[in-house]
Amino acid sequence: MNLLNAHAEFYDAIGNPTRLLLLCVLMKVNHKKIFVTDLIYCTGISPRNITILGKCLENLNYLTVTRDQRYASWHLTEHFITIFAPIIKPLLNSPEVEECLLRLKEREEKGEMVYEKYSEYLKTKKNSKTFGY
């Protein structure tokens, strides 16, 4: 995929550009890593568009996508942080980000965050001989 096509697909995938910025903030708050299901929940971007967005960002060297049998997570690259750092800081005070972070906090308090479920899943996986451990 050439860079021009990647950018076109990228903008098509994110829909409202504000949601991309929310993604950036959420990922920054989550120490450069976030599970895709949490992104879908907190930003309202559809699973299909999240997948397209992830592929585009991967092609542009903005993030790496890690997948296993059950979950996918995104990890920001330093390249991405360098480009978006000036944008992320002012966004932390915007009402859209505040709303998004509140939803994230509520999800954490209810124990619904994927990374919590994922750690439980890994414990089960390590104790199971069917997974080769």
Could you state, in order of their start, the residue ranges of all structural domains in the chain? 3-131
pLDDT for residue 121: 47
Q: What is the DSSP letter of 92?
A: T
Q: Is the pTM of this model over 0.85?
A: no
In order of 22, 33, 63, 99, 127, the CA distances from 57 in angstroms are: 15, 14, 6, 24, 35
Q: Does domain 3-131 have CATH number 1.10.10.10?
A: yes
pLDDT digits (tens, 9 = 90+) for 66-86: 887 777 888 888 887 777 777
pLDDT for residue 66: 85
